[in-house]
Chain A
Amino acid sequence: MTARVPGRPIVVVGLGYGDESKGATVDYLASTIGDTAAVVRWSGGGQAAHNVCHGPRHHTFRQFGSGTLRGVRTIARAPMLVNPISLATEAAELAVLGVGDPFGLLTVDANALVTTPIHVAMNRAREIARGAARHGSCGEGVGETRAYALAVGSRARRGDSVGNFPVHADVPGSPALTMGMLRSRAATVGALDALAGYARPLLDSVNHPDVALEPVETIAEALCEIASLLRVVDDMDAHVDAAMASGTVIFEGSQGVLLDEWYGFHPYTTWSTITPRQLVADLRAAGHNPYVLGLTRSYATRHGAGPMPTEDRSLDLPDVHNREGRYQGAWRTGHLDLPALRYAIAAAGGVDGIGVSHLDAVGTRELLVADSWSGIPDPLPLPSGTGVGELAALTARASAAEPDYRDLPGTPDGVLDLITSATGCPVVLAAAGPQRTDRRMLCPNLTC
């Protein structure tokens, strides 16, 4: 825990299973911190759903940074995955909200992997085949994009597996599609052809209209045109450095640490590194001193399948922006889970401050808080972060958890004090509603 000096980059990271108000927080920070220069997306892909509400305007940010309504530009840095077609849709929505030339706000890493309609179809085919045993995937092809690139990199053969994905055909020799390759139509068509050939057996095994494919040429044309509308840069580190030299840069995380591929409850995780460990190490190595802001709600939520120790089906906490997803599964709510929160902070590599949202629910329901599981305050050992083998024990422990409850304090201030004392981290930001104007900084510009 250190104070943030002006201009210091801010890394925003969710400390739950997602839906911790990352979007609203980034919008608020970009509005409040005068020298905000850019928002960097650095993880996940098009499956993010970061809600920003300001006055009559609402937008669910997927790939654009959540400072967009405030006119703050977006930098998409690998390993974030880019889905150009959903990017175009999002740009159209933003234009209607009064964002002029939305593509002009985007700079994208040439090394970023591209999610295509073929990946999306593969994702849906796999979830349809899993039936009731779904993994809570968003159906946006993010895992498929990562898995295919890994399979190509390791020259996987039919019958191998990549992560928990069985490889259903020999992987082609041509590289996975990146944003830089979209500068060349020939390279794009080549990469898409190889991918479509690889996808075919999987798609054919599922007879479903959701997995029909358009011709590769049609897809290539759309992808290449979109890439030509935005700025694709080869030296992303230099680009981000230049932004940091000009003002405050906000690094907007996606999803929550408890879904991280190396620290989450495998296999109910995402194909993405959510913890900011690598990002923070990179920034420090480049001479920066990032401020890590962790986020939590005043209660627990989880969208889709997987362990959720404090889930309480009798709680009636509807969410305006979250509904049951066709591929993702149910919207679930539960009580504040301090062992999980402390674990998330440790998995994140520590945080400098915490933001707490949804404080408007406090006092309106019989909310509880879990101090420990079966008498143990910190039951989850931190994995080494190098493989999924040791995650099985973690998942087993979370699945069998018996939380020890007491009443949650009945006032927002009481909840903030509780979180500070339970984590040893200061609460620096508090939100009692979805709007920008519902948020307050407990110390100006996070400099306390």
Chain B
Amino acid sequence: MGGGYWDTSAFDAAAAARKAAGDPDFGYSNRMRNLPRDQRTAAPELDVFGATRRESRDSDEHPASTPIVVLFDVTGSMGMVPVTVQKRLADLLGLLTRGGYTTDPQIMIGAIGDDQFDDVPLQIGQFESDNRIDEQLRNIYLEGGGGGDKREGYALAAYFLNTRAQTDAWDRRGRKGYVFFIGDEMNKPAVYARSVRRVLGDELTEDLAVEQVYEQLARRWHTFYVLPDLTSYYNDPEIENHWRPLVGERFLKLDDPAGVADLIALTIGMTEDAIDLKQGLADLKDAGSTAGRAVGKALIPFADRPVPAGGGRLPEDL
């Protein structure tokens, strides 16, 4: 059996895998894969076990900080998308600052796995406003795990933010930050106390309801869920039906995973009223992005949302 590979055309077809060999973006993951499974850990700056806080603070240089958290699913169902996201998120800071979409962005990246089955189910870096973001992206362990149950530990990350994230934006100015989940599956049925103890080290004794954790998250954060194509469940209605009640119109489907940073930047710019969709797409075109079409399509439902005040449209509940 096997394939039927008897000439070198098969080798030519493997160009992408050949190019990936020795890619420094994969250095940390490769180091981990050379260890027995149970010795694999998150890089120190991304380790969540025993972590007490993640802070986004104002400074003289950045007096009006905007905290932005981007957490992407790195389980196997995501296929090659985590590698794409890992590469593209390095562009996010530049997109936000060049476009003037928000004040003093501080970005914290992280990776989500399966808290029931994976060796490293949660990695969350630090809020950064310089190229230390790139370093943390390279140090993410792309475990490629998952339990095969179409559910991952997103809500454990939400619990982490609820209990650890401290932002001057909220504390001093009452301004919400941004959380983007990039994934293709549903939440586990609950935030398991067992997982919280194992992964974070908190002495939690009872499971938490997923809805409650996201409600709490929404108080301080604009929460988005991005479902990119080329993953396993892009066309599965169950995923959207699960997330709609949790994040409402902030459920975004993205045809082109390479446009993930573009999408996040425009979403923030539109929420901050710095741009409208048309202007944002023009900015992308000027910057040479090839993902404009996909980003535009992803944002149509969000652009058409009822805007509470000042947006020229009355809220739905009036």
Contacts and interface: CB of A to CB of B under 8 A. Distances in A.
Contact of A88 (B10, B22, B79): B10
B318 interface: no
Contacts of B81: 98
A56 to B, nearest CB: 4
Given A95-B16, A97-B79, A105-B33, A54 B2 contact: no
A35 B21 contact: no
A357 interface: no
A57 B5 contact: no
Interface string B12-25: 01111110111100
Interface string B133-156: 000000000111111111000000
A90 B18 CA distance: 11
Given A55-B148, A101-B23, A69 B33 contact: no
B280 interface: no
A445 B11 CA distance: 39
Interface in A244-294: 246-248
Interface in B200-247: 232-233
A37 B36 contact: yes
B251 to A, nearest CB: 20
B23 to A, nearest CB: 6
A328 interface: yes
Contacts of A105: 33
A412 interface: no
Contacts of B13: 89, 92
B175 to A, nearest CB: 36
Contacts of B78: 98
A76 interface: no
A119 to B, nearest CB: 9
Given A88-B10, A88-B17, A105-B33, A436 B148 contact: yes
Interface in B86-145: 117, 142-145
B95 to A, nearest CB: 25
A83 B5 contact: yes
Contact of A328 (B1, B22, B34, B150): B1
A56 B75 CA distance: 11
Nearest to B23: A101
A130 B14 CA distance: 33
A73 interface: yes
A121 interface: yes
B6, B26, B76, B81: residue with the most chain A Cβ atoms closer than 10 Å? B6
Mostly helix, strand, loop or mixed at chain B's interface? Answer: loop
Interface in B154-174: none
Interface stretch (A44-52, A174-182, A385-393): A44-52
A21 interface: no
B6 A322 contact: no
A8 interface: no
A103 B18 contact: yes
Contacts of A91: 14, 17-18
A210 B146 contact: no
B142 to A, nearest CB: 5
Interface stretch (A152-160, A161-169, A219-227, A365-373): A219-227
A365 to B, nearest CB: 24
Contact of B33 (A46, A104, A326): A104
B2 A138 contact: yes
Interface in A9-61: 30-31, 34-37, 46-49, 54-57, 60
A71 interface: yes
Interface in B58-90: 75-83
A124 interface: yes
Contact of B144 (A48, A99, A141, A210): A99
A304 B22 CA distance: 40
A235 interface: no
B38 A86 contact: no
Contacts of B8: 85, 117, 214, 218-219, 221-222
Contacts of A117: 6-8
Given A88-B11, A92-B16, A226-B11, A101 B21 contact: yes
B145 A70 contact: yes
Contacts of A303: 1
Contacts of B40: 71
B82 A98 contact: yes
Given A55-B77, A89-B5, A101-B26, A71 B145 contact: yes
Contacts of B2: 46-49, 60, 62, 86, 138, 140
Interface range on chain B (Cβ under 8 Å from partner): 35 or more
A436 B116 CA distance: 14
Contacts of A322: 1
A83 B6 CA distance: 10
B6 A97 contact: no
B35 interface: yes
Contacts of A99: 144
B76 A103 contact: no
B317 to A, nearest CB: 39
B3 interface: yes
A73 B16 contact: no
B17 A103 contact: yes
A308 interface: no
Contacts of B10: 85-86, 88-89
A444 interface: no
Contact of A437 (B5, B21, B22, B147): B147
B83 A92 contact: no
A71 B117 CA distance: 13
B5 A86 contact: yes
A115 B138 CA distance: 36
A362 interface: no
B257 to A, nearest CB: 12
A56 B77 contact: yes
A363 interface: no
Contacts of A36: 36-37
Interface string A318-353: 000010011010000000000000000000000000
B30 A104 contact: yes
25 contacts: A34-B38, A54-B146, A55-B150, A57-B76, A71-B40, A71-B143, A85-B7, A85-B10, A88-B11, A88-B14, A88-B17, A97-B76, A98-B80, A98-B81, A100-B83, A101-B20, A101-B22, A104-B21, A104-B26, A120-B6, A139-B4, A229-B21, A230-B21, A247-B37, A303-B1
Given A89-B13, A98-B75, A218-B8, 19 more contacts: A34-B36, A36-B36, A55-B76, A55-B149, A62-B2, A69-B76, A71-B32, A85-B10, A89-B14, A92-B15, A97-B79, A101-B23, A101-B26, A117-B7, A138-B1, A229-B22, A247-B38, A326-B4, A436-B148
